[in-house]
Chain A
Amino acid sequence: MMPFDLVEPGTLREALALLDPEDSAVRAFAGGTALMLMMKSGFFRPKRLVSLNALAGDVASLSLSPTGELRIGAMVRLAELERAPEIRRAAPVIAAALRRHSNPRVRNVATVGGNLAHGDPHMDLPPVLIALGAEVEIEGPAGRRRLPVDGLVSGYYETVLRGDELIVAAIVPPQPRRRALYVKCTTRAADDWPALGLALSLEADGAAIRAATIVLGAATERPMRLAQAESLLAGRTADAALIGEAGRVAAAEAAAAIIADARGSSAYKRRLLEVELRRALARLLDLPAAGETR
């Protein structure tokens, strides 16, 4: 790595002022685990890194409101999130998903904001937050704005964040009567990035589904809502046939978006999606998991 300007502002305002929307070689640096890899490989040669690690206060803390809304400061480390009692109470699916995310050393330093801002499709957290209907709060020269997490990532390693904006928090709305699950599906070593990540959130009484949110991660350029499978399930009482159908509908609607890579062909990932969605629904709805056998 070659020298660059490294600054560590103490306030969000100073941090924002040090960013430069015109220069992609100026970037915010939080946990740094992803940026360091890009810098070491020469893929990213920074001119200036704005370390956010000295920021304190809201941006680095987590709170649960009396209504059940979670506010997760962007600088909260993934390991803190994994262990926070508030998370275990209000959205245990986040803690469960993080348990298999990367490794404990990365989780000790990587932040919620960095995880979202990187736009890496292989991350486990974004699909989970989308399934929970979370939003991000973004601050820039023009002040604060809020976006659904689903609207943040615009493509492969691309977000709608401008170069002079920072994510300051993720907000997870209350989850009454909702059940959520994240399935990380690896096809090489157990410790690999997922070939497919699947986040589900259901509002249901027993097997009677009122609403479903289904998000596919890792297999596509950006996390993808599976709207046809969601509407198939909404308002229906689930049985083995319905969840099998949901798997097939999901695989069909995601087919064009699923990318082949070293973790599997597109056809194989479609198959994984079909099977894993059916099994995940069975788990959430307490139905027998068996599908067709070959």
Chain B
Amino acid sequence: MSAAPRTIRFTLNGRTVAAEVAPQESLVTMLRDRFALYGARESCGQGLCGCCTVLVDGRAVSSCLALAALVDGRAVTTIEHLDADGTLDPVQQAFIEAGAFQCGFCTPGFVLMTRQLLEQHPDPGDDDIRHYLAGNLCRCGAYPEIVQAVKLAAAKRRGAAG
């Protein structure tokens, strides 16, 4: 590896892909420019708002603070993968039912973080939700509905599992 662009291979939304990336390129830029994936979007640019959330090897990261070159060999999942089979994820369904967004710009980040929250806390209390989603910002202030949506999604997932 060096300062020159290099070819990386990784799994993107379940498929093996390759891309030529410059070392300084961020993950969010690569997803937009090379793969036309717009669900992760740079907003604050500092990893504080959560709009650029994607999963790398199943863990949520801020793709504006990640170097694209370092996902070589890893698995990247974006919001676009959640309904790959045409069916919405229970979290997405819950966000619609609870009306948990207005402008929608932050929504993919909240959805992905909520999925990760529910993996760790299948039945989260208010305090768990507040702590876990404190690093996702919604300027429209749809927070009360987001909390409702998380609880609704938890119930849906439990229902599906049980």
Contacts and interface: CB of A to CB of B under 8 A. Distances in A.
Direct contact of A and B (CB under 8 A): yes
Given A32-B66, A36-B67, A103 B134 contact: yes
Contacts of B69: 6
Nearest to A33: B65
Interface in B115-132: 116, 120, 131-132
Interface string B118-162: 001000000000011011100000000000000000000000000
B131 A6 contact: no
A40 interface: yes
Interface in B48-79: 48, 50, 53, 59-62, 64-67, 69-70
Interface string B1-30: 111100000000000000000111010000
A99 interface: yes
A190 interface: yes
Given A103-B135, A104-B60, A104-B113, A3 B23 contact: yes
Contacts of B99: none
Contacts of A5: 1-3, 23
B66 A99 contact: no
Interface string A1-16: 1111111100000000
B45 interface: yes
Contact of B62 (A6, A29, A106): A106
Contact of A100 (B1, B23, B131): B131
B23 to A, nearest CB: 4
B22 to A, nearest CB: 6
B61 A6 contact: no
B48 A8 contact: no
Interface string A29-57: 10011001101100000000101010000
B38 to A, nearest CB: 19
A191 interface: yes
B70 A36 contact: no
A79 interface: yes
B57 to A, nearest CB: 10
A294 interface: no
Where chain A touches its partner, the secondary structure class is: mixed
Contacts of B60: 104-105, 108
B59 A8 contact: no
Most central of B2, B23, B48, B66 by chain A CB within 10 Å? B23
A99 B65 contact: no
Given A37-B47, A103-B135, A109 B61 contact: yes
A33 B23 contact: no
Nearest to A191: B134
Interface in A75-114: 79, 83, 99-100, 102-106, 108-109
Contact of A6 (B3, B59, B64, B135): B3
Contacts of B26: 36
B66 A8 contact: no
Given A53-B70, A104-B135, A190-B134, A4 B3 contact: yes
Given A4-B23, A105-B47, A99 B70 contact: no
A36 B22 contact: no
A276 B131 CA distance: 21
A104 B136 CA distance: 10
A212 to B, nearest CB: 28
A56 to B, nearest CB: 13
Contacts of A33: 47, 62, 65
Interface of A: 1-8, 29, 32-33, 36-37, 39-40, 49, 51, 53, 79, 83, 99-100, 102-106, 108-109, 190-191
Interface of B: 1-4, 22-24, 26, 45-48, 50, 53, 59-62, 64-67, 69-70, 113, 116, 120, 131-132, 134-136
Given A3-B22, A8-B70, A104-B116, 17 more contacts: A4-B23, A4-B24, A6-B67, A36-B47, A36-B65, A37-B46, A39-B24, A83-B120, A99-B131, A104-B113, A105-B50, A105-B60, A105-B61, A105-B62, A106-B47, A106-B65, A109-B61
- Nearest 8 A/B pairs, CB to CB: A103-B135, A6-B23, A1-B24, A108-B59, A36-B65, A191-B134, A3-B3, A5-B3
